[in-house]
């Protein structure tokens, strides 16, 4: 899809494909753009019926022209991109007052710009300043930018580094004064990307950034300083892939080594507004990233670890180092903690143990924590470990613990004790996801008819192959294996 649609509260931008482009316009995208143009046209008609036609007469012909250019003519293929070259000029003819009035009248809008790599049939980059000059006019209206690679380019091993917008974003020319969100959902590397990262101080007003890094560019994490307004950071370090070669412009050294030689101070002071953090990477990179990213002001932290395919052994005690870094999280502000990990092959070194958790969750309570999720992590812990950790969460409402591994002391024989530990430590619990593998024999209650509930003011009910405990919080229903639902 060589063309993109930019929708802003005050601007409608059509970005043409480069000359001699081998790509063709997707019929689906054309239909979407047609619907958008029809929406604007219908709005014009509605305003005309309200006696406001005099203000919009100058725009009616332009809107009709957009419609005619998008509709395929008789005998033309539906995906013919030839009319798109004139669309940017057509849209630039709108004046600012007309655009402001027009977009205020729409019921909804999406401040989104989707930009695709612009490469000619010969593989050479297009003339960036000339072909993308439309940003000189509309850059101060754009709020949300997404760099999305063409799937065909991804199949050929071409990443988003060839997108000329990377050069534009890193240049001092267009001023994106209203830009609040940047998404780069594809793995990127190379010189254009390094220039973009180096010029992030030009976007100090950014509030949200979604960044997917090529493994060779992971050291760019430490260059996120200066984003004083950044509130949400979603960071993904992509899997190693043979399609993406290493580059000379970016180092592949561990981030810790970069920190020791970098002139930048740790990011704790340079991202003061960061509240929501999400990181997806292999274990080693996770430790390095969490070690330098600011944590003291976070409200939510979500970590997802994939099995690393990078050659070389994984550093020892990665769980200990990770939770040692996580101890910097604030006890007063952290509300959501989530960790997911699904190794291909499980061994003792992959297990998260109670001693690791206690590095972060020690004697000082996390008074704001509401959601604690470890459902995807192999856990080796005792009931005493669980109880000691949960005592730090006095206001917890959701708890998700993982399936215990067979060799763990936290197993079916001690499941009831684990549930008791939850009941005693978390009086505000409302949702519990705890795959305990309980059977009647484990409970010591094979009949389940004439028994004394082990928790005061609770009732134990059996329904064929599952048990349900209604316990310490009003309206709470906890189901455990074999359960069919958790409410």
pLDDT in tens, 454-480: 333 333 333 323 333 333 333 333 433
* The two structure tokens encoding residue 322: 């990770």
CA distances from 182 to 62, 64, 162, 266 (A): 30, 32, 17, 23
CA distance 477 to 325: 35
pTM of the model: 0.63
C-alpha 392 chain-centroid distance: 28
pLDDT for 106-165, tens place per residue? 333 333 343 333 333 333 444 444 444 545 555 666 677 766 554 444 444 444 444 555
Nearest to 209 by CA among 230, 188, 192, 194: 230
Residues 6+ apart with CB under 8 A from 248: none
Whole-number pLDDT of residue 253: 44
Q: Average pLDDT of each block of 10 consecutive residues along the chain (487 residues)?
A: 33 37 42 52 53 46 50 52 37 44 38 35 41 53 62 44 55 65 67 70 83 74 80 82 39 44 55 91 86 91 78 64 92 94 70 87 89 84 80 87 61 52 73 54 32 33 34 36 32
* The two structure tokens encoding residue 241: 């892939």
CA distance 279 to 337: 12
State the sign of the Cα–Cα–Cα–Cα dihedral 67, 69, 72, 73: positive
pLDDT for 392-442, tens place per residue? 898 988 888 776 665 555 444 345 556 666 767 777 777 777 654 433 333
- Phi, psi (degrees; rounded to nearest 5) at 337: -130, 120
């Amino acid at each position: 899809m060589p063309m993109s649609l930019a929708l802003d509260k005050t601007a409608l931008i059509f970005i043409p494909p480069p000359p001699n482009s081998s790509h063709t316009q997707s019929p689906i995208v054309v239909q979407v753009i047609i619907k958008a143009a029809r929406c604007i046209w219908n709005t014009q008609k509605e305003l005309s019926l309200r006696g406001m036609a005099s203000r919009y007469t100058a725009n009616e012909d332009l809107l009709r022209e957009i419609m005619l250019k998008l509709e395929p003519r008789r005998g033309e293929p539906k995906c013919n991109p030839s009319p798109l070259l004139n669309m940017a000029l057509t849209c630039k003819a709108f004046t600012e007052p007309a655009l402001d009035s027009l977009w205020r009248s729409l019921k909804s809008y999406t401040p989104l710009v989707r930009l695709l790599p612009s490469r000619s049939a010969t593989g050479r980059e297009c003339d960036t300043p000339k072909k993308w000059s439309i940003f000189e006019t509309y850059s101060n209206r754009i709020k949300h930018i997404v760099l999305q690679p063409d799937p065909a380019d991804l199949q050929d091993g071409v990443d988003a580094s060839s997108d000329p917008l990377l050069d534009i974003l890193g240049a001092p020319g267009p001023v994106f004064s209203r830009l609040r969100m940047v998404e780069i959902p594809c793995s990127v590397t190379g010189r254009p990307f390094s220039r973009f990262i180096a010029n992030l101080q030009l976007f100090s007003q950014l509030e949200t950034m979604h960044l997917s890094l090529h493994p060779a560019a992971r050291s760019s994490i430490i260059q996120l300083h200066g984003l004083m307004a950044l509130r949400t950071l979603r960071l993904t370090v992509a899997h190693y892939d043979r399609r993406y070669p290493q580059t000379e412009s970016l180092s592949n050294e561990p981030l810790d080594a970069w920190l020791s030689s970098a002139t930048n101070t740790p990011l704790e002071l340079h991202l003061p507004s960061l509240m929501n953090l999400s990181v997806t990477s292999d274990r080693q990179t996770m430790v390095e990233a969490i070690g330098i990213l600011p944590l003291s002001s976070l409200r939510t932290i979500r970590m997802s670890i994939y099995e690393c395919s990078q050659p070389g052994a994984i550093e020892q005690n990665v769980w200990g180092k990770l939770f040692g870094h996580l101890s910097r999280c604030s006890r007063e502000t952290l509300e959501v903690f989530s960790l997911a990990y699904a190794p291909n092959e499980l061994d003792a070194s992959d297990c998260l143990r109670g001693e690791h958790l206690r590095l972060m969750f020690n004697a000082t309570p996390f008074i704001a924590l509401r959601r604690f999720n470890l459902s995807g992590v192999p856990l080796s812990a005792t009931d005493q470990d669980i109880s000691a950790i949960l005592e730090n969460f006095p206001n917890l409402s959701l708890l998700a613990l993982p399936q215990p591994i067979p060799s763990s002391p936290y197993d079916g024989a001690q499941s009831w004790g684990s549930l008791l530990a939850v009941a005693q430590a978390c009086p505000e619990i409302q949702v519990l996801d705890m795959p305990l593998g309980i059977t009647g024999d484990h409970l010591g209650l094979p009949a389940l008819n004439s028994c004394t509930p082990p928790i005061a003011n609770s009732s134990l009910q059996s329904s064929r192959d599952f048990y349900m405990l209604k316990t310490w919080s009003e309206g709470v229903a906890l189901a455990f294996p074999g359960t069919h639902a958790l409410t």
